[in-house]
Amino acid sequence: MTVTQVSAQELFRSAYQNRYTWDHNFPGYTADITYKYDDQVVQGKVRLDANIKAEVSEVTDEAAKKAIHGQLWEIGVHRIRRTFEQTHGENTFSYGETDNTGAVEIIMGGKATGDKYKVRKDIVTLVHRHIHGVVVTINTFSVHETGEGYLSHTYDSVYHDPQTGVQKGGRSVFTDEYEKVGNYFILNRRVIITVQDGNETIQDFIFSNIELLG
């Protein structure tokens, strides 16, 4: 009996397509936002439209408004549905090492040379990418299974200088929670704990009264 090993590209494609994304009928939504940081509590409104345009209103603190907008934009960007070819059509894939958890390393070539991922049980557990002049490394520790793909539940992120390898900023640990609104799973809370130079900061984004547009 001959056992045919799946190619690195097909292994990665399967995990890529197993991520939860919004379909092309996604209408956008509005929500109330409560943002807690540094013993401060800021409240306002948010709107994310069908084209993933993020808007924050009723928040006067510019730093808080920027932080909320950044998270809202991130939420939308990661839920956009793109085909594997659209995202990775100019890349090549090869196998790297398998770690002690059984996660398989996928080494990228082509346009994404220098990037790598890890895949375990149809889930991308590591992302190591060059983005906008920095290298971001994201480890996913647990996920939500929606029945329509997975969503990250707990994960961390660290940034490094691509030339020197020196860490930029602290290590941030994220915990994401979701609720289903209509046909769509939408983030309703994100807690970010960042440790830098021995100091810990906590940001808590709570989205409530989520309503689909239209």
**Domain residues for 106?**
8-212
Q: What is the pLDDT of residues 121-152, one digit of tens each?
A: 999 999 999 988 899 999 999 999 999 999 99
Q: What is the pLDDT of residue 46?
A: 98
Are the C-beta atoms of residues 186 and 178 closer than 8 Å to each other?
yes
Q: Is residue 184 part of a domain?
A: yes
Q: How confident is the model at residue 173 (pLDDT cuts 50, 70, 90)?
A: very high
| Amino acid 106: pLDDT | 97
Q: Looking at the predicted structure, is the pLDDT value of residue 1 above 80?
A: no
Task: Identify whether 1 is part of a domain.
Answer: no
Residue 2 lies in a domain: no
27 pLDDT more than 70: yes
Q: Which residues contact 100 (CB under 8 A, 6 or more apart)?
A: none
Residue 79 located in a structural domain: yes
Closest Cα to residue 84, out of 172, 178, 26, 16?
16
Residue 190 resides in a domain: yes
Q: What mean pLDDT comes out for the span 60-64? A: 95
Tokens for 210, please give them: 């989520």
Q: How far apart are CA 178 and CA 146, in angstroms?
A: 10
Q: Would you say residue 123 lies in a domain?
A: yes
Is the pLDDT assigned to residue 75 strictly greater than 90?
yes
pLDDT band at 3 (very low <50, low <70, confident <90, very high): very low
- What is the overall mean pLDDT for the chain? 94
Q: Is 15 inside any structural domain?
A: yes
Please give the share of the chain, as a percent, with pLDDT higher than 70. Answer: 98
Q: How do 150-160 and 123-131 pair as beta strands?
A: unpaired
Work out the average pLDDT over 38-54. Answer: 95
| Angle 8-9-12 from CA coordinates, rounded to 5° | 85
Total domains in the fold of the chain: 1
Return phi, psi of residue 66, to 5°: -65, -40
Cα gap 37→168, rounded to integer Å: 21
Distances (CA, A) of 184 to 13, 38, 111: 23, 32, 32
Q: Is residue 82 part of a domain?
A: yes
Name all contacts of 2-7 with Cβ < 8 Å and 24+ positions apart. 7/93
